Chains A and B, each alone.
Chain A
Amino acid sequence: MDVIMKTSKAILTALLLLCWIQPGNAQSIVFKQFTLKNGLRVILSEDHTAPTYSVAVTYNVGSRDEQKGKTGFAHLFEHMMFQGSENVGKGEHMIIVENNGGEANGNTTNDRTAYFETLPSNQIDLGLYIEADRMRSLVINQANLDNQRQTVQEERRERYDNQPYGKTFEAVIDLAFDNFAYKHSTIGSMEDLDRGTVKDAADFFRTYYAPNNAVLTMVGDFNTDEALAKIKKYFEDIPRQTPPPAPNMTEPKQTAERRKTIEDPLADADEIDIVFKIPPGNTPDWYALSVAGLVLSQGTSSRLYLELVKDKRLVQGISADAEEKRGPSLFWISATLNPDKDPKEVEKLIYDNLERLKREPITDLELEKVRMLVRRAGVEQLQSTQGRATNLGESTVFYNDPNLVNTWPDKYLAVTKGRIQEVARKYFIPSNRTVVTTIPKETPEPAGRGGR
């Protein structure tokens, strides 16, 4: 029951479950698509290589749909989905899956909310039944809401408020974005979490958790016809609802650099975060920017690692990558400095590297490394049924294109050296930039965290 705040360089390994098509050894994800009478989209992909299956239900709702004063609600609601429905008791969902050898969880991003189960293939009915029961008849009451509000507030403390640099992420998106949709975090603020009411939850459920606002994907050891019959049996009589309004994702063009410095009492060294606004995921410019990120910081022979970590010893670690969002995304560069190093010097060297991307094409070796990484990621993503199920769902909800699971490697491979220079020139410009520096806050405690 996670919040996924920031897609990362792991994008190639975590994001897509896709397939690399090799000459003479075509391996792709073969699937069939259906739409039930109530609008629920169903995508089924048989794979009998292991006695398991995964089902995922991806709802077209994320924190981008939240209103001011109600941040964190999409994720809080995700927790409510484990609190019981007509025929599944409070907390029983996770327990019943676990007790039958399976795994279940859910997570919320800016752009969607996904739930999934992986089970042995003799338990096909179980996974479908419990997903259908909560789509049909979730129990929403004050006790459950209060209890999960507390759990989510603990999640926020554990992952953000009690961690060094835990608040930097929110400072960056708040400064970079003007449109509220991505300006606020998925975990939400403590105050807003306190505001969510039972009525909010009930309205949210009816509007966004309707079958016509969801995609059910299933991958693994089952027969498509039989599975479809079961899905119809369990899901088809759940009533459709008026489709929710599409959120306004318009982001005004940024006209000047934005800068801010924040203090962090839990941090021990400076961190610098530099973001540029870039187009949505799965666009030609986005793929070119994603490749630029890989060249800059993927692996120990990447440019920023070699220069800033190894040669100049300025930073402890550095990452640069294109976040994938359905709406305006960010190219995010983040570096934690070594003690007594100057953030200005680090910032300048990062900009020098961005200028180099504009000035000269990347090398043949760099392009080859990206191609091999894409190729391997494409094959590796075929191992897990859960990954395939969630990626099919996400590709459908985001882009209405389930077959993206088979085509994304080609989209990476289509990126040319010239395109990388073009996107670098277009997006890596000062007026499109937001810079946040996080510095340790000195505490007056005599037994403070020493050293500084």
Chain B
Amino acid sequence: MNYTFHWRPAFRALPEMLAGSLVTLQIAVLSMVIGIAIAVLLAVMTGSKSRWLRGIAGTWIEVARNTPPCSRSTSPISGWGRSASIWIATWRCSPGSPSTMRGIWPRRSGAAFGPMPQTQVRAARSLGFGPIAAFRLIVLPQLFRAVFHPMTNQMVWAILMTSLGVVVGVNTDLTGVTQELNVRTFRTFEYFAIAAVLYYLIAKVVTLGARLIAWRLFRY
């Protein structure tokens, strides 16, 4: 082994990479928010009576699950900068989430009993709850608890997926910054090793943070 590691320039670039990490987190959070909004819509659509709505939602989910995010992002929106990677991560999040939610969503047919049996809603309604109050007070707390941990998982995925933004020229997130430094210095291993450590730390902070929140939140 006759390779000399040059860690010092890599560590000098740490502030830049930390700024990139922040952008990565922003992208991930934003894509999660957009992804969840689309996912709830898709989950409702897959359960709808209209064949058209079911078809659209089904197509979306099938396409998003069965093609790599790289090729999806390059085709329609190359050169969109940061929004591109939001889009990638959103696509990845949105199909995962409706299937997470679908099992829990109260179904009209009694066949698909998730952890949320329809009878609870009926019981609430018989007790005099309005439809909105029943949803807010009976369904939502249980839905939220059941969905929380899969969502954390999805969040970690979103963070990892933002790295693909570099394929369409995103150069502000952690992978983008690392790649910029790499092409300037050709110290590939050192920079990417630090990037890997940073990604690991981000993922751990998110996971542990979510665990703390869950511990505090789900005492009911």
| A associates with B | no
